[in-house]
Amino acid sequence: MGKIILTGDRPTGKLHLGHYVGSLRRRVELQNAGDYDRMFVFMADVQALTDNADNPEKIRQNIIEVALDYLSAGLDPTKCTLYIQSQIPELAELTTYLMNIVSVSRVQRNPTVKTEVKMRGFEGDSIPLGFFCYPVSQAADIAAFKATTIPAGEDQNPMIELCRELVRRFNETYAPVLVEPKIMLPENATARRLPGTDGKEKMSKSLGNCIYLSDDKDTVWQKIRGMYTDPTHLNVSDPGHVEGNAVFTYLDAFSTDQDFADFWPEFKNLDELKAAYTAGGIGDMKCKKMLNNVINRMLDPIRERRHEYEQDIPEIYNILKKGSIEARETAAQTMDEVRKAMQIDYFNDAALIQQQAEKFRAK
C-alpha cells in the first residue's frame, strides 16, 4: 500500500495567510518532496453547498479564486491531481452507503459540527440534513481515494476520526476494501492557528481580519499598519509584550534569519528582536515595517505566478477538468470494489446469476 495524500478546502472565499501557514505551504512542500504515490487536492464544493444551498453563485465564483490560490502558491498539476468534488459522483454514492453504518448520535457528537451549527445560528431541527451529514460525506471524500495521509488543521480531527471508524466498520461488515487515513497536523502552534490582524484568536473571513494571498502590496501594508500589537506599549521606550502581540505571532510564523540579515541587520534573528522589544525602546511601526517586508518577500513569487495564471483562465478550468477526470477514475475503481464487497455488483456476478437460475429452474 502506497502513501496517498488527500486534502481540500471549501470554496467559500479566497485563501488567506492562515490557510497558507496552516496547510497550503505544507502541501506544496509535500508535493515537492515527492515522498508519496499520489496526491489529491480538491475543492469541496458539495460540502460548501451544505450550508449555502441558496447561494450556488458564491461557490461558483470562489472555485476559480481557490484554484488561483492553489496554483499561485505552488501546487503543480503535473505533480498533484486538482479537482472539484461535485464532478466525482462516486463520492455521493459512497456517502449513501456509509450513512447506513453510522448512527445519528455518532454524527451529532462531532465538536466541529457543533461549533459550526452555533456559528451559523441553525436552531434545533432547522439544520439542513445535508449539512448534518457532511462529516459522512467527508469520510467518503477520503475513503474513495484510499487516502492514507490527510494534511489538515486540528478542527478536522473529528472528521478524520469518524472516517477511520467508518472505514473499520465497512471493512468488518463487508470486506477489507477501504483504508484508514491518518491526519497530518501542522508542525507548530502558530501554524495551527494564526490570529487575525486584530489579534483575535483566528484569521477568518467572517471576522474581516484577514490578509489574503491575493492582496496587493498597498492592501497588505494598510492591513499591517493597522494591526493589533501590545496595548500597554504606548511609548517607544516602554517595555513591550510579544505574547498576544499579533505582529510578533506573524513574525514567528513567517520570518527567517535571512529576512533579518536583509531587512533589519541590527538583529540576528527574531529572538534578539523580541528581547529588545521586551526591554523597551523598539517602536511598533518598525516592527510592522519588518513584517511588511517579510510578508511581501513571501507573497511576491505567489503574486507573479498568479498574474501569469490570470492571463489564461480557460486553461485553469482545463486543468480542473483534467484533474476531475483523473480523480474520477480512481474513485470509480474503489467503487467497483465497494459494490463487490457489498454484493450489489449484480451484473458482474456470473455465479449469482447461475445460482438464481438453478434455484428457479428447480421449482
Binding residues for ligand TRP (CB under 6 A): 6-10, 44, 47, 138, 141-142, 150, 152, 156
Q: Minimal distance in Å, beta carbon 58 to ligand TRP?
A: 15
The helix (run of H) or strand (run of E) holding residue 247 is helix 246-254
For 315-354, the DSSP string reads HHHHHHHHHHHHHHHHHHHHHHHHHHHTT--GGG-HHHHH
Q: Convert 267-289 to b/e letters by CB count within 10 Å (16 or more is b).
A: beebeebbeebeeeebebeebbb
Q: Minimal distance in Å, beta carbon 11 to ligand TRP?
A: 10
Decide whether 44 or 253 has the Cβ nearer to ligand TRP: 44
Decide whether 156 or 245 has the Cβ nearer to ligand TRP: 156
What SS3 class is residue 75? coil
Q: Which DSSP state fits 16?
A: B
Decide whether 7 or 197 has the Cβ nearer to ligand TRP: 7
Q: Nearest CA to 23 among 301, 213, 296?
A: 213
Q: Minimal distance in Å, beta carbon 123 to ligand TRP?
A: 22
The dihedrals phi and psi of 301, each to the nearest 5 degrees, come to -65, -30
Q: State the chain's maximal CA–CA distance in angstroms.
A: 99
The full 3-state SS of 276-298, as one line of letters, equals: HHHHCCCCHHHHHHHHHHHHHHH
Q: Minimal distance in Å, beta carbon 91 to ligand TRP?
A: 9
Decide whether 146 or 288 has the Cβ nearer to ligand TRP: 146
Which residue of this chain has its Cβ atom nearest to ligand TRP in the complex?
44
Q: Minimal distance in Å, beta carbon 152 to ligand TRP?
A: 5
Q: Minimal distance in Å, beta carbon 297 to ligand TRP?
A: 27
Q: Minimal distance in Å, beta carbon 98 to ligand TRP?
A: 13
Decide whether 68 or 84 has the Cβ nearer to ligand TRP: 84
Q: Minimal distance in Å, beta carbon 238 to ligand TRP?
A: 40
Decide whether 7 or 72 has the Cβ nearer to ligand TRP: 7
Q: Nearest CA to 329 among 40, 1, 5?
A: 40
CB 170 within 8 Å of CB 162: no
Q: Nearest CA to 250 among 20, 15, 13, 9?
A: 20
* Distance, C-alpha 230 to centroid of its chain: 31
Q: Let me know if 232 is exposed, middle or buried by CB neighbors in 10 A (0-12, 13-18, 19+).
A: exposed
Q: Nearest CA to 17 among 9, 25, 6?
A: 25
Decide whether 141 or 259 has the Cβ nearer to ligand TRP: 141
Decide whether 44 or 294 has the Cβ nearer to ligand TRP: 44
